[in-house]
Amino acid sequence: MTRRHTPALFNRLKSVALAGLVLTGIACASAQAADDPDLIFRRSTVFKLLSPNDRLATYGIDDPEIEGVACHFTVPEKGGFKGWLGLADEVSDISLACRQIGPVRFKEKLEQADDMFSKRRSMFFKKMQIVRGCDAKRNVLVYMVYSDRLIEGSPKNSTSSVPIMPWGAADQVVQKCGDFFK
């Protein structure tokens, strides 16, 4: 004798599964908090009466493999109840600016187009990535930000370049990025 599941039981199971996924996502986000970029500021762009506003948020992050380089990026953050719960699918419009902020020192050999930073932009399927490379001919570090999705990515991107220059009187030997990229 087989029992048929009622729609109410099925809906209850879906709710429990969704709650478990939300809690898992919160736990994963907490574990990654140490790697998060620094929030510089946020600015509201769309007013919402009963829920959080849509905003633009600007963050700063140091390149973890190259001393003396920092990037700032601005991302739109969805408001509303979906944004507040972390369920909104964020858009792919991200701007990027990277600069030399001190003497450039490479910590190890790097691959062209390696990820410098990655962060989820939706609960499951979308993430933002900042990748780095080297223009050896010009001795310039090149950073690109884009978002991708499990099924299809977005062509929206932003690029920033950092020419490697001497920094102060003591920094007369400038490292060549071509010596550190494979």
Tens of pLDDT, residue by residue over 83-129, are 556 656 666 688 999 999 999 999 999 999 999 998 876 666 678 89
Q: Are 106 and 92 in contact (CB under 8 A)?
A: no
Tens of pLDDT, residue by residue over 43-52, are 887 777 777 7
Question: For the chain, how far is it from start to end, CA to CA, in angstroms?
Answer: 65
Which 8-state DSSP code applies to residue 33?
G
Instruction: Give the rounded percent of residues in the chain with a pLDDT score beyond 70.
Output: 65
The pTM (predicted TM-score) of the whole model is 0.71
Q: What is the CA radius of gyration of the chain?
A: 21
Cα–Cα distance between 162 and 99 in angstroms, integer?
6
The owner of tokens 């001919």 is: 137
